[in-house]
Amino acid sequence: MAIEWDEVSSAPPAQAGTTIATTKAPHKRPGFSLAREARIGSADRMLFTERLVLLLETGVALHDALRVLHEQTDKPRLKTIIGQVADDIVGGQRFSEALAKHPDLFPPTYINLIGASEAGGFLPEVLEQLVDMDEKQERLRSTIVSALSYPGFLIVFSILVVVFILMVVFPKFSVMFASIYSELPFTTKIFIAASEFLVKYGLVFGVAVLGLAGLMLASLRRPEGRAWLDRAKLRLPYIKDIFTKIYLVRLMRVMGISLERGVTVLDTLGACRNVIPNAEFQRFLGELEVQVTEGRGIAAGFRDSLLIPVSVKQMIDTGEATGSLGKVMGRVADFYERDLTRQLNRMAKMAEPVMLMVMGVLVGTIVTSIILPIFKMSRAVH
């Protein structure tokens, strides 16, 4: 949403002690509601931060900038949050303290960087870096989704085509082939058996598959299941390489910006625990906190971990030795983001022809299994 600059320039300054009337959500009865409030997430935070930077750079005071954003925001929940943050600032709280009351929108990394900028007097610069970090993370997420969406669509489409042929097309031909069943090709017999099974037990089979999928999802949401999945992500061949790069990009990006802007090492490591959604990496960060507390330094902790590639360990050693650890981590994040993007694009380009070939072979085999018996029957008639 574009900022109306005439509104900014003409808005009267807020008086001390003035509060913003925040929008309160109406009382909701428990249960399902068709009119659920729209969720807020990283895109809303990105837009809020970017617009706040623009207002601050034009010389608008922080509270006045928040008041303008409060008036221009359409989402009720976001409007409420901005109003509460502005009221807390008028009440004497620091900006970072006011943001910390809304952890669902502002993660610890965001709050720690804002707190460091308040102490150093460079709030607009940090806000710009936060926007850049969110944009890069969103771009990485979009790359992953786009790389996996088309192969996933082909898999689902292939399954639906095969199920349609087996349940609609084959039953019509199985009656015709009954008289020459012993002479049918092996593939035709298999497809006839599969067709009869789906026609008779298709509903039961579908319910069983959905039930099994639901059971697997439920088990993966349990602590034991999540721990198993986190270990699998970092142990399975090829999958390990992709997830390690994803986690390293997030970790290095957040740590690099935080350290460059004066956030303490322990606060940075504590915030990074919420950035990486993997128990193995979170355990590594916890061990790293202990080692830093004991005075060993970050490089030693990275050097002892089996999760970190050798090249990253060497870069961290160099950064700590030269006193440019934050800058080095930022470059490592940029390198792995580019490398991961190339790898995902390459994977998508390889998966598309492979899936098309598999789909063509499967459909071709089914069609051949129908046509060959028809030719055999026509020759017998002639």
What is the CATH number for 58? 1.20.81.30
Verify that 139 and 101 share a domain, yes or no. Answer: no
Q: Are residues 165 and 227 in the same domain?
A: yes
Q: How far apart are CA 26 and CA 80, in angstroms?
A: 12
Q: Same domain, yes or no, for 67 and 215?
A: no
The pLDDT of residue 1: 38
Distance between CA atoms of 170 and 192, rounded to whole angstroms?
7
Of 78-82, 182-186, 198-202, 365-369, which one has max mean pLDDT?
Answer: 78-82
Residue 211 has pLDDT above 90, yes or no: yes
Whether residues 136 and 101 share a domain: the answer is: no
Structure letter (DSSP) for residue 183: G
Q: Are 168 and 288 contained in the same domain? A: yes
Do 314 and 376 lie in one domain? The reply is yes
Residues 64 and 192 in one domain: no
Report yes or no on 272 lying in a domain: yes
Residue 122 domain-assigned (yes or no)? no
| Residue 94 falls inside a structural domain | yes
Residue 339 lies in a domain: yes
Residues 204 and 257 in one domain: yes
CA distances from 52 to 38, 191, 262, 296 (A): 22, 63, 22, 39
Asked if the structure places residue 245 within a domain, the reply is: yes
Indicate if 259 and 141 belong to the same structural domain. yes
Report the amino acid identity of residue 295.
G
Give the whole-number percent of the chain exceeding pLDDT 70.
87
* Residue 91 included in any domain: yes
What per-residue confidence (pLDDT) applies to 13? 39
Here the tokens at position 205 are: 């089979």
Q: Would you state the structure tokens that stand for residue 228, as one six-digit string?
A: 């198993």
Calculate Rg over the CA atoms of the chain: 29
Shared domain for 293 and 178, answered yes or no, is yes
DSSP H helices, the chain, are 5-10, 42-57, 62-72, 76-90, 95-99, 108-120, 123-164, 170-176, 186-221, 223-233, 239-260, 265-272, 279-293, 298-304, 310-322, 325-381
Mean pLDDT over 73-89 rounds to 89
Beta carbons of 149 and 177 less than 8 angstroms apart = no
Q: 101 with 147, same domain?
A: no
Q: Name the domain count of the chain.
A: 2
Distance CA 306, CA 313 (A): 10
Same-domain check for residues 154 and 67: no
pTM of the predicted protein model: 0.69
Q: Return the top range by mean pLDDT from 12-16, 18-22, 235-239.
A: 235-239
- Other CB atoms within a 10 A radius of the CB of residue 316 amount to 24
Last residue of some domain: 106, 139, 164?
Answer: 106
Residue 121 covered by a domain:
no
pLDDT digits (tens, 9 = 90+) for 105-153: 888 878 888 887 776 667 888 888 888 888 888 888 888 888 778 778 8
> Domain range for residue 79?
5-25+38-106
For residue 72, report the phi and psi dihedrals to the nearest 5 degrees. -95, -10
Is residue 119 domain-resident? no
